[in-house]
Amino acid sequence: MTENLRGADIVARSLERLGCKHVFTLSGNHIMSLFDAALETELDLVHVRHEATAVHMADAWGRLTGEAGVALVTGGPGHANAVGALFTALGAESPMVLLSGHAATWELGRGGFQEIRQADMAAPVAKASWTAKSAATLGQDVAEAMRIATSGRPGPVHVSLPSDLLDERVESNAIVWPDGRDGSASAPALTIAVADAVLAAIAAAARPIIFAGPQFSGTSGRALLARLEAATKTPAVVIESPRGIADATLGALGDVVRGADLIVLLGKALDFTTRWASGRGFDPEVRLISLDPEPALVDRAARQMRERLLIGSTVDVRTAAETLIARVAHGPQRDDRWLVEARAAFDDRPATWASIASSMPGRLHPAEVFRVLRPYVERDANTVLICDGGEFAQWGQSMLPVNRRLINGVAGAIGSSLAFAMAAKLLDPAAPVFAVLGDGTIGFHIAEFETAVRRGLPFVAVLGNDARWNAESQIQLRDYGKDRMHGCELLPARYDQVAAAFGGHGELVERATDLPGAIERALASGKPACINVMIEGQAAPVIRRAQ
Ligand SMILES: Cc1ncc(C[n+]2csc(CCOP(=O)(O)OP(=O)(O)O)c2C)c(N)n1
Ligand SMILES: [Mg+2]
């Protein structure tokens, strides 16, 4: 008799063959066969407290490794909880796969348990989304999902796995196994002719600038972009925040952009973050070049920019950057005056930030928090900094220079930081991990302190507690007036005690002088820690150069 395997075994073993080590999951009826199948593999099931966390962890894994992170959730409500988090992964172009259990195929249309059109539900927030059709080909479904997630413009992919297929037994000689990760199918390479045309346009411009997309936000991407900047003498920045050009990380970028006469979009969509390169804040004559793995985005830029788009080309952007670097020496060179000027603007921070302090007793100004935190994040080059959410985190983004950073990304969805912190720690246990977030934001997934304690994943969450959803309060203040600010208040709650109750470490800080000791104790505790810093709610910083 030949051996036979369940569909669930095929999925689990395929994941293993494809290089997956950790599966970020929350259990449920439809996927218990997969939990069972995992016993016959080396797969590590990281069981979290909300399906969105599983997706956020897979997202962080994808961003940090470049390999598809894998989330596994149950059907119906589990899937529905997971789908919202795909929005963040899609915006960040994060390679990841969401596998969801699903009502049995024979139940469909008959009111099956937790039956819902799952693939349709995930489709708008995924690169691809489908329901597996047969048990024997489940391994190919998984491999195809990983291939799509990592190729071209990376992004999340969803596959629903009907429970009867997972339970079905398949004779081993009928199973088609995937043979290793196949990352081959990428966008085309940048041709030498187009590369030389791009470089000629850059050389001819007075004030060119490169806007890079999320594919350059990781450490290797940033290093590559720095080489491109140095080679072309053209300032190059990653536009990864929903604040886009106003991202305080980039200092007075807005002032630089206003003077630019050429913008090279390198895997960066012409979208709201780039303000469509039009209107106030742009030279009306500014020209664009669009190099993007997605033909539709090159076309979109062409339609909107018309004759202002000099060059549009569908290319793999990472190799395109290498080609540009290699070809620079063959054409006319720029001097570095404009680059030096632009870099000075990016590094510009108001002098007052060095001394600004809160006027409210028992509260810190956000700048005080990050002045204290900065030496701790700079102490180790491998530090991972996570910035999540509203106004407080924007101060962190602008005041904490680090090599490895994860932010919500252009999706602008708050709440992912505790999941990101756990994933970063799981990947690199030796790296210090700091998460900077607001008091509204921590509430989304505060139960994950239990997961972090259970799994031994220490990180330091630095919580700016202004007892409000301040980003929205600021909108009310700006758009409707001081008298119409309402409904965005929160309690000055003891989130530190919540973390401690889950077995983590908690600190309450009400004076700047107490913060260093709290950080030291949090790091020394070796536990997931929450430093609950009472702050004065301040609007996010906006940096403009002194005229
Ligand atoms: C998932 C999601 N829900 C709501 C919002 C809108 N939003 C953006 S920032 C913010 C307030 C965040 O409050 P908090 O974490 O306390 O940070 P603060 O602005 O107070 O520093 C809200 C509600 C969002 N961006 N994402
Ligand atoms: Mg707040």
Give pLDDT < 70 ranges for the chain: 1-2, 180-185, 546-547
Q: How far is the CA of 467 from the centre of ligand 2 (A)?
A: 5
Write the pLDDT tens digit of every residue in 481-510.
999 999 999 999 999 999 999 999 999 999
Dihedral of the alpha carbons of 292, 295, 300, 306, in degrees to the nearest 10? 80
Q: Is 388 close to ligand 1, i.e. is its CB under 6 Å away?
A: no
Smallest CA separation from ligand 1 atom 26, residue: 413
487 alpha carbon to ligand 1 midpoint, in Å?
A: 13
Q: Look at residue 3 in the predicted model and tell me its pLDDT.
A: 80
Hey, which residues does 156 pair with through a beta bridge? 96
Cα 208 from chain centroid (whole Å): 27
**Overall residue count recorded for the chain in this entry:** 547
What is the model's pLDDT at position 284? Answer: 96
The token duo for 469 is 């959803």
- Residue 181: the pLDDT is 59
Q: What tokens appear for 286 in the block? A: 């500014």
**Is any ligand 1 atom within 6 A of the Cβ of residue 391?**
yes
Ligand 1 pocket test, pick from 392, 414, 468 with the greatest ligand atom count within 8 Å of Cβ, gives: 414
Distance 490 CA to ligand 2 centre (A): 8
Whether residue 298 contacts residue 314, with contact meaning beta carbons closer than 8 Å, is answered with: yes
pLDDT score at 483 = 96
Euclidean distance between CA atoms 502 and 493, whole angstroms = 16
Measured distance CA(49)–CA(28) in Å, rounded: 12
Find out whether 209 and 265 touch, Cβ atoms under 8 Å: no
End-to-end CA distance of the chain: 83
Tell me how far apart the alpha carbons of residues 407 and 387 are, in angstroms, rounded to a whole number.
5
State the pTM of this model: 0.97
468 C-beta closer than 6 A to ligand 1:
yes
Cβ proximity of 410 and 214 under 8 Å: yes
User: In whole angstroms, how far apart are CA 157 and each of 68, 93, 99, 278, 346?
Assistant: 9, 11, 9, 33, 35
120 Cα to the center of ligand 1, angstroms: 28
pLDDT of residue 183: 54
CA dist 347 and 357 (Å) reads 21
Residues 6 or more apart whose CB falls under 8 angstroms from that of 8 comprise 33, 34, 36, 37, 166, 167
Q: Is the CB of 366 under 6 A from ligand 1?
A: no
Determine the pLDDT at residue 389: 82
Name the residue with tokens 């246990």. 429
Nearest ligand to the CA atom of 534: 2
Q: Which ligand is nearest to the CA of 366?
A: 1
**Angle, vertex CA 117, rays to CA 113 and CA 121, nearest 5:** 125
Q: Which of 523, 540, 508 is nearest to 363 (CA)?
A: 508
- pLDDT at position 544 is 86
3-state secondary structure of 187: coil
391 CA from centroid of ligand 2 (Å)? 8
Nearest CA to ligand 1 atom 24: 413
Q: Which ligand is nearest to the CA of 471?
A: 1
Q: Is 76 in the pocket of ligand 1 (CB under 6 A)?
A: no
342 neighbors 256 (Cβ within 8 angstroms): yes
Atom of ligand 1 at shortest range from CA of 392: 21
* Confidence at residue 179, expressed as pLDDT on a 0 to 100 scale: 78
